[in-house]
Every structure is written in structure tokens, then in C-alpha cells.
Amino acid sequence: MMRTLIVPFVIVLLFSFGAMTLMATAPVLEPTAREPVYATVRIKEVTPEAVQLKVHSQGTVMPSTESQLIPEVSGRITWMSPNLVAGGYFKAGDLLARVDDQDYRNTRDRAKATLGRAEAEQQHARFEYKRLQSLAERKLTSRSQLENALRALRVAEASLQDARVNYEQALQNVERTEIKAPFTGLVRMENVDIGQFISRGAAIATLYASDLVEVRLPIADRQLAFLNLPATLRGELPEALQPSVSLSTEYAGQKLTWQGKIVRTEAEIDISSRMVQLVARVPNDPQNAPLSVGLFVEAEIEGLSAENIVVLPRSAMRNNNQVLVVDEENKLRFRPIEPLRLYQDDVLIKDGLLSGDRVCISPLQTAVDGMIVNPVVDEA
């Protein structure tokens, strides 16, 4: 009985002693202040610089000159150049087609004979007038005979002039039986063949020049402020005011570029897009890849040069034209700025920032004025 009571008492005593020992030797935890963790942001130290503004557009290449090939005489086609086909290349003055000239040569010969007869009549009338004029001075002929001789001379001279004009016209008609290229270029379309009778004034082909091509580039009116163009100027631009333009495209797996000039602006504004049309002219240098008509190209137009401009990524922009500046104490401060334009992934700022300002370019979801941050300079 005694043993049953003593054993549990001893066990409880031992556990109590052990617990008191652990509590007496346990380390004392002292409270410490929690160090704040600041948000890490990327910053960029700004430096104002001169920036060459550019305006982008796109358009389709068109010929600078396009006209229809129209014969000036009627007749049957007896010969055609192998280049007088769609896509055929020709040079200025090349013979493209020939019209049967037999009738025109006959007309030329008759006109030549008529001219010879008129010259003989004019020479005879002149001789007769001079003879009667000499007799009239010696009172050997009447006044009426002299006046008749003068009238005959004037009629002969008029007939001679008419014969000369007819002969020149006949010569031109013979020359016009050879239809020649008015300029260097390509054939867009032809609708004639050998043996076909053509009429004067009826188009037999459509040609366009290949030495110069043009591209119509639509530009928003607000983008014109970045180009060195007078706001009221329409039509051909003076050479000193023609901005340079670079055209590029991907063709046959290669990137091709061409250089040209903006030569004129169109007077009308497109009613559907509200765009102003600028016209770029590009010479087709034979040593470079040709700028083919119908090709779609991207255009980069050289604009004004702006001074003291700060270039930042778009992510730096906040609402109400503000940016976040990190001050000397690494605190965020809202700074109002005046943007010049948004260009691709950048924003160009013309006022509001000074050289050396540290601008936050990280896209913070929540930013509070005076918030302390851990700034890291963006090497990119």
C-alpha cells in the first residue's frame, strides 16, 4: 500500500524538478526592431540631348510618269518591237512599232512635186513683177499691169508657203509611222498586234517611266509639326525644304532600302482618314536594286532637330504627364513634365527634368510621394 503511493509521488517530483531546471536555464529572448525592406526600382540618370525627330509612314510605289502610247497616224501595223509586251523594258527613243507608210510616202512625193511647181510659179511671178516695175519707171507700162503683176506675185508666194507646209506635214506623217518611246520605262499593258489596223488617237499601249518613282505617304496633321514644312504650303516644295526619306521593305528574303526626298504635298486632306498626303520621289539607280512599281514600303522621314530633349522609356510616364524622381534621400517624388511626343517605345520630354535627375523607370503599381526605395541604375 505504501509502495503504491510513494512511486507516483517520486515520479511527479522528478518531473517537476526537471521542468524547473529547464525554465531556469532557458535563454532570455530580447525584442528587436524589424528592419524595413524597401522596394527595389530601376532608375535612369537623365541627360538632355539633341534629338533628330522622325516621322513614320507607309505607302505603295507608283510611277512618276505614266502615259498612253497613242499613234498620230492611222494604218496597219507592219512591225512590233519584242519589248512592246506587258513588263517589257525600253529606252527613250526606241522604236516600238511601225505603221505601213506606203500611202504617206506617196503623199510626201506629191507634196514635194507641188512644192516644186509652186517655187517655179513664184520665181516666174517675181521675175514678171520686176520686169514690169522696170518698165513702169520708164513710163512704158500701165499702172494696172504693174498691180496685176504684184497680185500674181503675192498669190504665188502664198501658194509656195502652202506647198511648203503641206510638204513638211507629209514628211512628219512619214516619220510618225515609226512609233517611238517617249521616255525610258516599262510597258504596263499593250492591246495591239501585227496586221491590226490602228486609228489616229487610239491608245495601243500604256507606258510608265522607271527612272523615277513616287510614293504617297499619309501623315496625320499633328505629325506635320515635327517636319520642317510650312503649314500653309501646298504643291511642289523648294529643294531647300525637301526632307530626306528612307524607304525599306522585305523582298525575296532580303531587306532593301532606298533614299529619296519629299518633293510635294497634296492640297487636299483625305476625308476618310483625315490624313495629309506627302509625295516622296526616289531615283531608280541602275546599280542598286530597282524600286518596283506596286511594292509596299515603310518610310522614315527626317524631321526637325530638337534641343535639350530627355528620352525615357514609356514605362516612366505616370498619369497627368508626371514621372517619379528619386531624390537624394532615395524617396520618390512626383514631377510634372511637358512631353514633346511619344515615339515608338520612348517618350521625348522637352521640359520638367534637369540633367542628373534620377527617374524611376520601373512600372510600380502603387507609388506614394515620399516613399523610400532602393534605387538601382539601369545599365541598358
Residues of the chain with pLDDT under 70: 1-15, 17-19, 22-35, 230-234, 286-287, 379-380
pLDDT of residue 136: 81
- Does 222 share its domain with 292? yes
- Does 163 share its domain with 256? no
Count the domains in the chain.
Answer: 4
In a domain, 325, yes or no: yes
Q: Which of 256, 291, 306 is the last residue of a domain?
A: 306
pTM score of the predicted model: 0.71
- Does 226 share its domain with 296? yes
- Does 227 share its domain with 318? no
Tens digit of each residue's pLDDT (9 = 90 or more) over 334-353: 889 888 888 888 888 888 88
pLDDT of residue 24: 66
- Does 81 share its domain with 191? yes
In a domain, 372, yes or no: yes
- Does 254 share its domain with 351? no
- Does 93 share its domain with 105? no
pLDDT of residue 107: 95
In a domain, 1, yes or no: no
Tens digit of each residue's pLDDT (9 = 90 or more) over 212-240: 999 999 988 788 888 877 665 567 888 88
- Does 181 share its domain with 76? yes
Q: Which of 306, 331, 353 is the last residue of a domain?
A: 306
Are 321 and 338 in contact, with CB atoms under 8 Å apart? Answer: yes
In a domain, 151, yes or no: yes
- Does 225 share its domain with 312? no
Tens digit of each residue's pLDDT (9 = 90 or more) over 247-294: 999 888 888 999 999 988 887 787 777 888 899 999 987 667 888 899
- Does 121 share its domain with 169? yes
Three-state secondary structure call for residue 251:
strand
In a domain, 226, yes or no: yes
pLDDT of residue 316: 85
- Does 233 share its domain with 324? no
- Phi–psi pair at 260, nearest 5 degrees: -155, -165
- Does 120 share its domain with 150? yes
Strands (E), 105-211: 178-180, 185-190, 197-198, 205-209
Sheet with 197-198, edge to edge strand ranges: 178-180, 95-99, 75-80, 197-198
> Cell numbers of 100, please?
505601213
pLDDT of residue 29: 59
Are 75 and 49 in contact, with CB atoms under 8 Å apart? Answer: no
pLDDT of residue 31: 62
Range of the domain at 356: 42-49+307-377
Query: What's the CATH code of the domain at 125?
Result: 1.10.287
